[in-house]
Structure 1
């Protein structure tokens, strides 16, 4: 096994998966999806379908207990409602602090856990889909370039120089991520991004707004909302 991909079933991580499969081949890629106490399991259901589409090994990890005391609005035990605003609008209310959908040190925990699993499977690299739009304004500080560099160094040193991180989109916008995914034939029609767990995406939460803008910037309709599906068939 060459690569482990942290895989939520959303746009960014699915594009990462497409990149890894393109580079290493499906038989050399492990997709790891993490349940952390979300209000729904739509992402996990999407991840399973996409893993089958690519023919990669798929594993699930339950870390919900770690976040049991958090009141992050994404979590099932939260008393907070998921904001129906863009991230820029939300940051106007936070005074520069992370938004309410920031799960405390989530990517740090995910990457550390993934490192152990990756080493156990002989992987050389962990891919994850952090991008600059999420890091902007400190909305999600664990998506920043500085955070990625620090975690990469820690994992490389802590693994005895066996394992490193690839965050190919850390300096890209989401529109650039989608552009690359369209070139790769990523099956965006199978992905799920919405923070709500309804039958269809809500269209108003921060991630729905970002996703819609990214597809619009590429001049295509979002296939998850009835647009043309661009995924390659197997």
Structure 2
């Protein structure tokens, strides 16, 4: 790997990492030596890339740092196209418009040799063959309430058609091929629940914030789902 490519990859690794990365971890990812990583990080810092490092803990890329868009590779452009295609077909109108805007912005800045990946892509997602049954639900507002950590009062019908009224703490909206789901902590059940948006009879957007941090709820739910998958294997 050329040194310029390695420098770029170090920035990408740190950008994706959920926490500090040690020189050994970076070296293993890039199949190079720890000494090379030390030199490369020093070179990046000298170029004013905001990397912080502490002995025994690792390196962190400070938030807000951006790389020139022309650094996108062909695979990265195709990944953006594939993701945007899926969002255009399956997500709510607000995210669909955002996906179209992302494609337009990428197309405006990438080199001409990569334009075919957007104009005539080699990747495709299945089209949506049916109308959504949750057309009356403001999914974009569900996303906003999840981000803001505000409560919802919902009327819901389960798989058997049994109705219920409950107050929930939303923290994720899941987009699936056949349906969308609201993932929340349910005050009625005292547990996490996934609510299909096509079974929501009513949604009242409350101003009240729920007491738990959204990030904590998300981590707990992900850990619970991972434990369930392990138990099923």
Instruction: Looking at secondary structure, tell me which structure has more strand per residue.
Output: 2
* Larger gyration radius, structure 1 or structure 2: 2
Q: TM-score range by the shorter chain?
A: under 0.3
Question: TM-score under structure 1 normalisation?
Answer: 0.27
